[in-house]
Amino acid sequence: MCGIVAYVGHQNCESILLSALSHLEYRGYDSAGMAFILKNQQLVRLRAKGNLFNLSDKLLKFQMMSSSPIHAQIGIAHTRWATHGEANEMNAHPHVDNEGRIAVVQNGIVHNYLAIKSRLSPKVKFESHTDTEVIAHLIAFYQNEKGLDITNAIRNTINDLEGDLALAILSVNAPNEIFVYSRNTPLIIGKCSDGYWCASDLVALNACEKYMRLPNDTLAKISAEKLARETQITEAKWEAKWHRMPVLNIQKQGYDSYMLKEVFEQPKIIANIARWDEAKVKGWKKGIKSVQLIAAGSSWHAALIGQYVLEKKARLTTRVWVASEYVKANPPLSACSLTLAISQSGETADVLNAVKWERKRRKEQNCLYQCPIIAITNRKESTLAQYVNEIWPMNVGVEMAVAATKSFVATLMMLYKLAGIKTEELLPLASEVEHVLRTESTRMREMAEQVIKFPLCIFMGRGLLWPIAMEASLKLTEVANLASLAYAAGEMKHGYLALLSQETLVICLSCADHQVEEIEARGASVMRLDLEGEQIHVAIKTLVCLQMLSYYAAKLKGLDVDRPRHLAKSVTVF
């Protein structure tokens, strides 16, 4: 959701920070800002609502008004997705203390910010309605009222904060250092030849040569020359594990959007996963009697298909949970039951919460209940990867569009492989999807021209096509901002007929003729999508068609297909 970037080194930081923020746009944001320290130790803060162009424009105006070149070589920056306080410039990060000597950016939520705000009032003047602003004022309080140095002021502040969060802090009292802290929220340190970086997402660090994840509950400081642990808030082992920076393909490569590019990458992804060595996944069922899948959003729809194939092909009793409901449901523990968590980002708050809870309660049981927890994720460096016994990486490259496309297909393919479906059954699907992309694009555009005319669109399917209908409905809602629902075709008579009218469009996915006739008899319009082939193939081919349908509907409405309004790529808060 929110994105953090920090840089300290030997180059001017302003353009570096802006460029890094541009790589975080895919996470979703409503405002952005930066702060940097000049050579004269003045702290400068710039913020803007809306697109990064607005922040860039403010920076340009500041540069033009300056009597001399800026030459700032240390700074922090942020893209905000509103949680506390509306989306405006006043609530944008960084936040500063009343003297303008401390600047803070945060990703996460401070649950007790109102109590801290009350404690600091009336001596402190608050300018925003955010939880983050109290952090800057609290650090200043410990410095000014308690006489602490900047390091101990930050340490005491962190101890007062409740909630999962990540911080980057600038202070004119330490003009060559950035303080960084992480509590159950990712922060990644990057190292390059001319300094150090810090970011909430690896994508922002593509200029670095090496990276490492900041250990949990650790306050560290970075300077142009080094990374140092300032203090461990809890007594955990500090170990700097540096990894070589992977090559990240984050260009559109001639496509008009990331979403379209990622849709067209799917045949190659299908072929790659289809060729997985069966030995890779052969042993996972040993000693396992049942499976529970935990996921959210599009991953939950993929899990529903996973349930179908795991029960039908692998003959394993399988249950699917929406991650946000799992802890509340408190399902009984099952012996010899594998937990499979699915999250593209590996940072989905509800999935992490469910996995942490499951780990804790299984640890207290005997060995029959201590079955592995495995994650399907696209981010090997993610928080989820730290919580599980094993990860099965998607390896599909960065998914830059907010709407899941290639990660959804990758998840389905991995679940197919886990269910025991052989390479020779899956490999032809790659060329079939390539054929669909080549031959069905025009029809999907023509369908989209009709879809956007209706105030309500209903998708119907059965078998594997019911979860596909759910995913298609979500895509149309996300990307094209259209009201959409999805139902199992056999449930039509159980209440859903009441929605049918001349203003309703029903898209039938391989539905029976008599169902189509019943819909038309009630005045609703019908579109059919009937593709041929094996059921597991038809599910993915149908999905790809409907991804294109959503894309074209959004384009026809003049919407930004990569960044739908109000949505974030990675839902990192509850």
**513: pLDDT strictly greater than 90:** no
- CATH assignment of the domain containing 326: 3.40.50.10490
- What does the pLDDT look like over 3-41, one tens digit per residue? 999 999 999 999 999 999 998 888 878 899 999 999 889
- What does the pLDDT look like over 90-124, one tens digit per residue? 999 999 999 999 999 999 999 999 999 999 988 89
535 and 554 in a single domain? The answer is yes
Question: Angle of helix 428-439 relative to helix 266-274, nearest 10 degrees?
Answer: 170
Of 172-176, 229-233, 478-482, which range is least confident? 229-233
431 and 375 in a single domain? The answer is yes
Looking at residue 512, its pLDDT comes to 82
**Is residue 571 classed as helix, strand or coil in its secondary structure?**
coil
553 and 458 in a single domain? The answer is yes
**Domain finish residue from 439, 470, 505:** 439
- What does the pLDDT look like over 446-455, one tens digit per residue? 999 999 999 9
333 and 479 in a single domain? The answer is no
Return the C-alpha torsion angle 183, 187, 188, 192, nearest 10: -120
Residues near 345 by beta carbon (within 8 Å), at least 6 away in sequence: 377, 378, 379, 382, 569, 570, 572
Q: Is 569 a catalytic residue?
A: yes
CB of 524 closer than 8 Å to CB of 506: yes
Q: Where are the alpha helices (DSSP H) in 452-512?
A: 465-480
Residue with tokens 């790809």: 544
- Backbone angles phi and psi of 80, in degrees to 5: -110, 140
**Domain finish residue from 384, 418, 439:** 439
> Of 221, 261, 541, 569, which residue is the catalytic one?
569
> Of 2, 198, 371, 545, which residue is the catalytic one?
2
461 and 419 in a single domain? The answer is no
380 and 464 in a single domain? The answer is no
Instruction: Give the pLDDT band of residue 572 (cuts 50, 70, 90).
Output: low
Q: Is 198 a catalytic residue?
A: no
Token duo for residue 257: 């959007």
Amino acid at position 300, single letter: W
Record the pTM. 0.89
**390: pLDDT strictly greater than 50:** yes
Q: What percent of the chain has pLDDT over 90?
A: 69
The burial class, CB within 10 Å (0-12 / 13-18 / 19+), for 423 is middle
**Is residue 78 classed as helix, strand or coil in its secondary structure?**
strand
232 and 297 in a single domain? The answer is no
372 and 498 in a single domain? The answer is no
Looking at residue 515, its pLDDT comes to 86
Mean pLDDT over each residue of the chain, to the nearest integer: 91
173 and 233 in a single domain? The answer is yes
Structural domain containing residue 435:
249-439
Instruction: Give the pLDDT band of residue 234 (cuts 50, 70, 90).
Output: very low
Q: How many domains does the chain have?
A: 3
260 and 235 in a single domain? The answer is no
378 and 467 in a single domain? The answer is no
68 and 157 in a single domain? The answer is yes
**Is residue 434 classed as helix, strand or coil in its secondary structure?**
helix
More confident residue, 498 or 264: 264
